[in-house]
A and B are shown apart, each in its own frame.
Chain A
Amino acid sequence: MSIKAEEISALIKQQLENYQAELNVEETGTVTYVGDGIARAHGLNNALSGELLEFSNGVYGMVQNLESNDVGIVIMGNYDEIHEGDTVKRTGRIMEVPVGDALIGRVVNPLGEPLDGKGAIQTTKTRPVEHKAPGVMQRKSVDQPLQTGIKAIDALVPIGRGQRELIIGDRKTGKTSIAIDTILNQKDQDMICIYVAIGQKESTVRTQVETLNRFGAMDYTIVISAGPSEPAPMLYLAPYAGAAMGEEFMYNGKHVLIVYDDLSKQADAYRELSLILRRPPGREAYPGDIFYTHSRLLERAAKLSDDLGGGSMTALPFVETKAGDVSAYIPTNVISITDGQVFLDSDYFKSGVRPAIDAGTSVSRVGGDAQIKAMKKVAGTLRLDLASYRELESFAQFGSDLDKSTQAKLARGRRTVEVLKQPLHQPLSVENQVVILYALTHGFLDTVPVDDIQRFQDELFNFVASNNKELTDEIRETKQLPDTDKMDAAIKSFAEHFQPTKKEDD
């Protein structure tokens, strides 16, 4: 393509002709205090709460406090070059971020500026960062499943599209892995995923992005990162920016999965800026509106009614606990806001049960309606089985004089725990999950040694895929459990030929 100088100058001429010299009227204030990511300014008498302001060095700020003599401003960016006595201009706009398809596959900061070095975001559409959540009449109850591909979650704590499911646990219990695996499993599911990393190490975020890239998941994912070196306002803003980007897709009838990793760091950032803004501290020194901070964010996740296109936004907020303490302030707040929680236990994690999901304390309040029929049938008794196994397990340690039925229960329990284990980055399709759980609940695994369960499972999947493909196809298409005789026959014929691993000392 050759550059056509005449055309370009014609275009510029046209632009210039339309330009009308207007008197530029601006309302200004004077900075009286700067520090730690916030500023105070005199003047700005008509500034609105949440309005965007521009400092004289081009950095933007957001009005947070309106007081009798001055306004408290959080600074979005570098505050080193702002000095006392500088002017601040009102912009008349509220905080907005770019939204739209152009963001997919990109890594951006909470202002929507690219961090991945792939050039500018080519979109003209923006959305306000703060937006009111859909009301009662705009919603519909959750009715479609969101398959995480993780057996323990899809069977025990099913998540529906539009649900808010909290992932809670100590540090190093595999919270982020659950998010990444869930995102990986959304491939070809017509989902758009948004991963909001709040206060996560830049190196960790880099690793996650590379994992997503390796499995081809960046084709439908947006990563928003506010690293620990960013000032607190950016960390505070990140989840709202993510929600705004997700809403754009949701209101266009698409399905969105948004992961907030993690909200305890956002709460810490908000506490920091609230204290510097001299808002009175409350419990654990968090400001009075910390509950509202999280509730208004999570309310924005919704399943929209058919009139509005039926789109959905599923939120997976993360909260980090300290030494398993779920009764701290932020965990209790977020537990009460969400529609259930997945609790990750560090003891399980260390003893090799991964994902380390504690079935006893994990619940999903609405997801059951969204579970497919086949899964409901095979997983129905799983939770009770596990609970009674955990109960018996502690007793069984006292001696081996147990009656037959107790021993059978223990054996089943050990195999259940084994089946629910799953390696990293290997999400399973729902039909395969149904097959293995069917085999478990119908006693086909009782004769298999515990150490061979993983191998049995993998070989069973291969066997079914090559010999009884109609079964998995039926589950996928009708969502119903196929005829039990056919299922039994298929699994039996495999189990008969299964060779348990020979132990060397046998």
Chain B
Amino acid sequence: MSLDKTTIAKRYAKALFEIVSENGQLEETRSELNQIRNVFTDNKGLGKILTDKGLEQTHKQGIIDILVKDASTSVQNLIKMTFDYGRMDDLTAIIDEFNDMCDLSEQLVRARVISAIPLSDEQLNRMADNFAHRLNVKKVILDSEVDDSIIGGAIIKTDSLIYDGSIQTQINQIRQRLIG
């Protein structure tokens, strides 16, 4: 059975993460990889082309050479290896997984906050600090979004959790209680 994308991404990302963190090049690698990721998101289908068996090998090699021109050794090796194993299509997933691993090791959580009115930077910072304390992590990076349909309060969404303190939800709960 062929492996699914997530499993592949986890394996490659873990290997890369271990090498890079031993060498202490976490930050540099990360920014390099994110630039490469941008290349892939800007050129939709690039991953597919590089995995395509129907294309001339030398042709694809040319693109790879451009990609890795200015990269550090570990990133070069990663790209060459994923290319050799025909996993270029999974590269963005690998980079995403790598980013998650970096966040986890730094005890950093990314979240999106939804509020009815725009929040000031100071409010956001206070919220981030409080939230970090609550989740027992070092740092929280908040992404702000405004949605007036929630009436008031705020909702914070992370990857797998929703902290819902909006007025809309509370009204819904009161309604449920009165009906039930």
Measuring CB to CB, which residues of chain A are less than 8 angstroms from any residue of chain B? 12, 15-16, 19, 21, 23-29, 42-45, 68-70, 87, 89
Contacts and interface: CB of A to CB of B under 8 A. Distances in A.
A282 to B, nearest CB: 17
A63 to B, nearest CB: 15
B99 interface: no
B83 to A, nearest CB: 24
Contact of A26 (B7, B10, B162): B162
Contact of B178 (A12, A24, A28, A43): A12
A14 to B, nearest CB: 11
Given A16-B174, A24-B169, A69 B161 contact: no
Contacts of B159: 43
B162 to A, nearest CB: 4
A398 to B, nearest CB: 63
A69 B160 contact: no
Contacts of B157: 28
Nearest to B153: A21
A268 to B, nearest CB: 25
Given A16-B174, A68-B7, A44 B164 contact: no
Contact of B163 (A21, A24, A45): A24
Given A21-B170, A23-B165, A45-B160, 18 more contacts: A15-B177, A15-B178, A24-B164, A25-B162, A25-B164, A26-B162, A26-B164, A27-B161, A27-B162, A28-B161, A42-B6, A43-B159, A43-B160, A68-B7, A69-B7, A70-B6, A87-B162, A89-B162
Contacts of A25: 161-164
B7 A29 contact: no
Contacts of B162: 24-28, 87, 89
B4 interface: yes
26 contacts: A15-B177, A15-B178, A21-B170, A23-B163, A23-B164, A23-B165, A24-B164, A24-B169, A25-B161, A25-B162, A25-B163, A25-B164, A26-B162, A26-B164, A27-B160, A27-B161, A28-B157, A28-B160, A28-B162, A43-B160, A44-B160, A68-B7, A69-B7, A69-B10, A70-B6, A87-B162
Interface residues of B, number: 18
Interface string B151-180: 000000101111111000110011001100
B174 A19 contact: yes
7 cross-chain pairs, A with B, having the tightest CB-CB distances, nearest first: A24-B164, A69-B6, A43-B160, A26-B162, A23-B165, A25-B163, A28-B162
Interface in B1-42: 4, 6-7, 10
A21 to B, nearest CB: 6
Nearest to A46: B160
Contacts of A29: 160
The interface centre, meaning the residue of A25, A27, A43 with most chain B CB atoms within 10 A of its CB, is: A25
Nearest to B177: A15
A87 B159 CA distance: 11
Contacts of A87: 162
A432 B162 CA distance: 68
A167 to B, nearest CB: 41
Contacts of B170: 21
Contacts of A43: 159-160
A68 B178 CA distance: 41
Interface in B118-156: none
A28 B162 CA distance: 7
Nearest to B166: A24
B165 A24 contact: yes
A176 B165 CA distance: 54
Nearest to B158: A28
The interface centre, meaning the residue of A12, A21, A27, A89 with most chain B CB atoms within 10 A of its CB, is: A21
A15 B6 CA distance: 48
The interface centre, meaning the residue of B7, B10, B161, B163 with most chain A CB atoms within 10 A of its CB, is: B161
A278 B173 CA distance: 38
B161 A26 contact: yes
A16 B178 CA distance: 9
Contacts of B174: 16, 19
The interface centre, meaning the residue of A28, A45, A70, A89 with most chain B CB atoms within 10 A of its CB, is: A28
Contacts of A21: 165, 170
Given A24-B169, A69-B4, A19 B161 contact: no
Contacts of A89: 162
B158 to A, nearest CB: 9
Nearest to A12: B178
Contacts of B169: 24
A406 to B, nearest CB: 67
Nearest to B161: A27
Nearest to A29: B160
